[in-house]
Amino acid sequence: MRVILLAGAVIGGIALVVFLVMVAGLLPPQTIRLVEGYMPMQLLAELAFFVAVFTLISYLLKKNGLGIPRFWQGISFWLFIILYLKYRIYPPIPFSVRAIYGTIAMVGVFMWMSGAEDDWKEFKKPILNVLDAVTPFHKALRTFYLIAIPIILWGFSYNSFLPNLDEPIELRTVHPAPPASTKVHGKTFVLQTASNPYRVNAEGKYDQEYSNKLITEQSMGRLLKPDANPWDPKAEGYLKFVREGGEIFFQNCHFCHGDNLNGRGLHAFAFNPIPANFTDPGTLAQLQETFVFWRVSKGGIGLPRESFPWASVMPPWEQHLTTDEIWKVVLFEYWHTGYYPRTWD
């Protein structure tokens, strides 16, 4: 029994260290992959695993007379959940959602701490110790809080009273509903049925699966299979056209959208709204390929009414590029960021 417990603690300890190294930023969060389609179950299982590890570690410590006080158990477990939500999950979840989960976790921890009368007493003890100043140390701590808390509150109120010099918020629909069809260079494209003529397999047929198969990491960053090189003269299928799209991109788009397609081009910050960051999961990854084709062709001035006030400087590229060039540059943008174009639901 002892051996099993110790082995469990060691395995759990290793998992914990891997996690903490990830938190420190020395390993990317994808080190241990989230299995696509099973992510929520996997996260729950991992959390349950860590709960078991903590229980085990704290049991072993207590047995050896090194028990961790209840108060710190609760606080550190809650901090652990917050770190887990922030550093384990990718693509990252927004702060507002993390705040909700964090609050729910806090309620959970609180219920766990106050579940039994004795536990609750033990949990409260350190707080009451400070309030009652039972030792000189606690007294010093109490004095410190008495001074620090008003200063912190003062800081918050000071900040909230500062006049705000930012320009007023402008509400604007970034991704308006697209038209049913769009006419580019005299040809009508029905957005629901058109497809990128260059997203083809080795036989020259439209093949979404084929192009996606060459990308091994979908959710963050891009990892192409080592044999997929668009610069190879023998490259097959759509890869041949990725290179041509790249040339068009670096002749026309990188000034605004950036060398890394992250929206930080040379001229980017002269504009408001700033050019789209294609590496962000909120742009290309969310859009159908024909939507992107339409946006590139028509630019900022071609946006529908809901995108008032049309402040976007995105040029209408149909005036400068051929239809084929637009399809190729769109292909390149998807290839470079490694995202799937969204399919029609």
Binding residues for ligand HEC, rule: CB under 6 A, are: 174-175, 252-253, 255-257, 271, 273, 275-276, 283, 292, 295-296, 300, 312-315, 317, 329
Tokens for 85?
Answer: 């939500």
Residue 323 Cβ, how far from ligand HEC at the closest point, in Å? 13
Q: Which is nearer to ligand HEC, 12 or 263 (CB)?
A: 263
Residue 163 Cβ, how far from ligand HEC at the closest point, in Å? 29
Other C-beta atoms lying within 10 Å of the C-beta of residue 274: 17
Q: Which is nearer to ligand HEC, 16 or 313 (CB)?
A: 313
Residue 222: partners with Cβ closer than 8 Å, 6 or more residues away = 215, 336, 337, 338
Q: Kindly report the backbone phi and psi dihedral angles of residue 331, in degrees, each rounded to the nearest multiple of 5, phi listed first.
A: -55, -45
Residue closest to 292 by CA, chosen among 245, 250, 230 = 245
Residue closest to 20 by CA, chosen among 9, 31, 35, 8 = 31
Q: Which is nearer to ligand HEC, 109 or 276 (CB)?
A: 276
CA distance 298 to 81: 46
CA distance 341 to 288: 5
Residue 26 Cβ, how far from ligand HEC at the closest point, in Å? 33
The type of residue at 254 is H
Q: Which is nearer to ligand HEC, 92 or 300 (CB)?
A: 300
Q: Which is nearer to ligand HEC, 73 or 312 (CB)?
A: 312
Residue 307 Cβ, how far from ligand HEC at the closest point, in Å? 8
Burial class (CB in 10 A: 0-12, 13-18, 19+), 234: exposed
Q: Kindly report the backbone phi and psi dihedral angles of residue 224, in degrees, each rounded to the nearest multiple of 5, phi listed first.
A: -85, 150
Give the CA-trace dihedral at 296, 298, 300, 306, to 10 degrees.
-110
Q: Which is nearer to ligand HEC, 73 or 283 (CB)?
A: 283
Q: Which is nearer to ligand HEC, 112 or 255 (CB)?
A: 255
Residue 275 Cβ, how far from ligand HEC at the closest point, in Å? 4
CA distance 192 to 173: 21
Residue 312 Cβ, how far from ligand HEC at the closest point, in Å? 3
Tokens for 204?
Answer: 């020259």
Q: Which is nearer to ligand HEC, 74 or 246 (CB)?
A: 246
Residue 41 Cβ, how far from ligand HEC at the closest point, in Å? 31
Cis peptide before 309 (omega within 30 of 0): yes
Residue 300 Cβ, how far from ligand HEC at the closest point, in Å? 5
Burial class (CB in 10 A: 0-12, 13-18, 19+), 41: exposed
Contact between 53 and 16 under an 8 Å Cβ cutoff? The reply is yes
